[in-house]
Amino acid sequence: MAKIPEYKDDFFEGEPGLLGVFDYEYEEIVGFYKKLRWAQFIFIPPAWLTSICCTPCFLNQNIEWDTRSRHLALTVDGIKFVHARRPTLCGLSFTDKGKEAKTVPYDKITDCDVQEPAGTACCCFIENVLHKVTVDTASSGMSKDGIEKHELEIIGLKHPHEFKQAVWSIKRGELPKGALLSELPKQQQMAQMLPEKASADLTTPLLTDIRDELRKMNSLMAAKYGAAV
């Protein structure tokens, strides 16, 4: 049975329609990207030019700021991802980056899957240790440049498989165990039922048309071959 694990992130406290929050593995994410970014800086000589702007001095801090400002929740409206306002570059207020938020409705989701960590990220010695959850909708697919595009890419969740199971459960109109609400709002349940109802509404007239056409063909063939005999 799908369930929402216990969480510590209080960013969404007071959010209307909140079902549950999924924590990131902040420490593991920060550790991984520090190793990766420093390896890229050392082994890519053009990156050394950024030393003029003191970029390496703030590299670790920028990774911390970027990572710890990411938050993820499931609400009655869909998957909600928020990249909160955070400092960038040297950390002065005029370099801050504004809050970014995105909600993917459950009825628009066509796929939600987990990619297990494997291989290395750089120079054959930095091991990939982070799970990646991909969420797709009808607009996902290959870009013009041949790059696979997802509606959401969530890297470093503490409970990626539980997140996937919870999403599919809610998409079926079932609340996962541990949800903060006792039941989905009626409009949400209706939204989950609409695709099936629409399919049924389309299928019945189509089958009726096919039946009528077959009857016409049978009548014509009977008339033709009957006259020939």
pLDDT for position 228: 44
What is the full DSSP assignment across 135-191? EEETT-EE-TTS-EE-SEEEE-BSSHHHHHHHHHHHHTT-PPBT-SSSS--HHHHHH
Beta-carbon count within 10 A of 160 CB = 21
Structure confidence by residue, pLDDT tens digits, 26-46 = 999 999 999 999 998 998 888
Structure confidence by residue, pLDDT tens digits, 170-222 = 999 999 999 998 777 765 554 554 455 555 555 667 777 788 888 888 877 77
Structure confidence by residue, pLDDT tens digits, 86-104 = 999 999 999 999 999 999 9
pLDDT for position 125: 80
